[in-house]
């Protein structure tokens, strides 16, 4: 039978997740995330609803690099 090697997150296996949560800060010494700014997104949506203007906007995001890469 072939031996199964143990993969280590951040060493020979990387994890990238979408959208920041408090759990991702501590899980496995930190999971790298690509996340939008939900406060800005909510504010822009509310402004469009109140002004009755539908428009296409760029949704900004950031990458938070942690131990999982």
Read out DSSP for 30-63?
Answer: --EEEEE-HHHHHHHHHHHHHHT--------EEE
Greater pLDDT, 34 or 58: 34
For position 3, what pLDDT does the model report? 66
Q: Does residue 38 register a pLDDT over 90?
A: no
Greater pLDDT, 5 or 20: 20
Q: How far apart are the C-alpha atoms of 44 and 38, rounded to whole Å?
A: 10
Q: Does residue 11 register a pLDDT over 90?
A: no
Domain boundaries, the chain: 16-64
């Amino acid at each position: 039978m072939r031996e199964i090697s143990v993969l280590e997150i951040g060493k020979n296996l990387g994890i990238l997740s979408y959208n920041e949560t408090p759990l991702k800060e501590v899980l496995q010494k930190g999971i790298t995330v690509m996340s939008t700014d939900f406060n800005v997104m909510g504010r822009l949506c509310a402004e469009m609803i109140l002004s009755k203007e539908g428009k296409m906007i760029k949704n900004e995001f950031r990458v938070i690099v942690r131990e999982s890469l």
